[in-house]
Chain A
Amino acid sequence: MSKNTENNKKEEKRVFMKPGRNNKEDRLNFVKFWAEYVKTHSDKEWSKQQNVVIDSQIRI
């Protein structure tokens, strides 16, 4: 299997987030959800999304 096909397959995995009962729990659940996403998707895929958050604050 080529690396690209492998990566595409990895990206197909769906991860679900459990809603929290309050803001704190919800935030922690999101951290867990996102960490799972990072673990199960290619570096390129998660970083592209993460960069939207980071680069919205920083222009160089």
Chain B
Amino acid sequence: MIYNPEKREIICDRELSNLDKLTLKFIRILEKHLDYVIISGYVAILLGRSRATEDVDIFIKKIDKAKFFVFYEELKKEGFWCINAEKLEDLSSYLDEGLAVRFALKKRSIPNFEVKIVKREDEDVFNDFILVKLKEGILKISSLERQIAFKRYFLCSEKDIEDALHVEKIFKDKIDYEKINKLKRIIEKRRK
């Protein structure tokens, strides 16, 4: 993998897993309708972490109901279903409440795509992203520093600590530790 922090891109020549293929399929639909950033566990997995996952976490920007309807209709047409509800009104109200809604391939629940409207305090993620360029397509992920900081200082489970360690080890020389510390302070402040 080649990471260029200035260009904010990682070029990866990996063989795609089934999860990668499905993620690309989902994102190709999603990005037609709204801006997104992939966060958390799948990012570490995409970048080589040796573990499986049941979901892919995705932040989206606030979206009006009409646009979401078009997106939801296309998802259904392409073979996905929402595992939280069927009616658009229900999905929409979950999102408005700040809750996540999950989509999976029809008749399945795993893996699923957990879509959530970004909270105001996390909106910076949309200015702090990296493009992962695979041969088969491009995925937008949150910055490596954000990944490390949120996993290590906010989520803190063993799995999250390990994900953070993996990302740090892989890109050690190119990581901005000042930025991680700044994010750490923001997280600590939020906790108080």
Contacts and interface: CB of A to CB of B under 8 A. Distances in A.
B18 A44 contact: no
Contact of B169 (A31, A48, A50): A31
B19 A47 contact: no
Contacts of A1: none
Contacts of B48: 34-35, 38, 46-47, 50
Given A31-B165, A38-B170, A58 B14 contact: no
8 tightest Cβ-Cβ pairs between the two chains A and B: A35-B169, A47-B14, A43-B13, A38-B48, A54-B17, A57-B52, A51-B17, A43-B14
Interface string B98-115: 000000010000110000
Interface string A7-44: 00000000000000000100110011011101100111
Contacts of A49: 50
A55 B18 CA distance: 6
B95 interface: no
Q: Chain B contact residues (Cβ within 8 angstroms of A): what range?
A: 20 to 34
A47 B70 CA distance: 35
A34 B50 CA distance: 8
B22 A58 contact: yes
Contacts of B155: none
Given A28-B162, A51-B15, A53-B52, A60 B22 contact: yes
9 contacts: A31-B162, A32-B165, A32-B169, A34-B49, A44-B15, A46-B48, A48-B15, A49-B50, A58-B111
A8 to B, nearest CB: 15
A5 interface: no
B60 interface: no
